[in-house]
Amino acid sequence: MTSSIRVGHGFDIHRFTDSVDSKRPLILGGIEFPGERGLIGNSDADVIAHAVADALLGAAALGDIGEHFPDTDPKWKDADSLMLLKQVAQMVKSAGYDIGNVDCSVVCEQPKLAPHRSSMQQRLSDAVGAPVTVKGRRAEGLGALGRNEGIACWAVAVVHHTGDRN
């Protein structure tokens, strides 16, 4: 059995809604942030889960999240992004890869991520079946993210190809 290491990079960004709306909660890393403006998107707009999914798909050369879960398909409307992420992890494993880890950098002025970091990491890790780490960064008032217009996430995934296909 041969093993090769591959790396994938993922990115996602979503704008905030105009006001706090209980029908559109803010969800990051599978955790709901009550009292915060939600993000605009076809699914639940969890930018962290989306960036992780894209990083994993890229590492396994399986396309991108939009190919597998297009926002033009009504069946993905308001979809739970952690469920999408679980499906992506299964696709990666079925393609003969073991997931090593995923590391994320989230850029936002608010909310504060630190109080929820371990819960987010646990939910994401459970969905992926491997360690996922989350770091919060501020844009220091620069650009759209610094003006608190939305949230962006960059993710890097490491996978190991075992040659076995499920």
The predicted model scores a pTM of 0.95
Q: Specify the DSSP element, H or E, that contains 144.
A: helix 143-146
Taken as a whole, the chain contains a residue count of 166
Give the residue numbers spanning the domain of 46: 4-161
Q: How do residues 33-44 score in pLDDT, each as one tens digit?
A: 999 999 999 999
- Does 166 reside within a domain? no
Q: How do residues 3-30 score in pLDDT, each as one tens digit?
A: 699 999 999 999 999 988 778 999 999 9
- Does 59 reside within a domain? yes
In this predicted structure, the answer to whether residue 1 has a pLDDT above a threshold of 50 is no
Number of domains forming the structure of the chain:
1
Helix (H, G, I), strand (E, B) or coil at 156: strand
- Does 78 reside within a domain? yes
- Does 147 reside within a domain? yes
Q: What is the CATH number of the domain that holds 72?
A: 3.30.1330.50
What's the rounded Cα separation, in Å, for the pair 166 and 163?
10
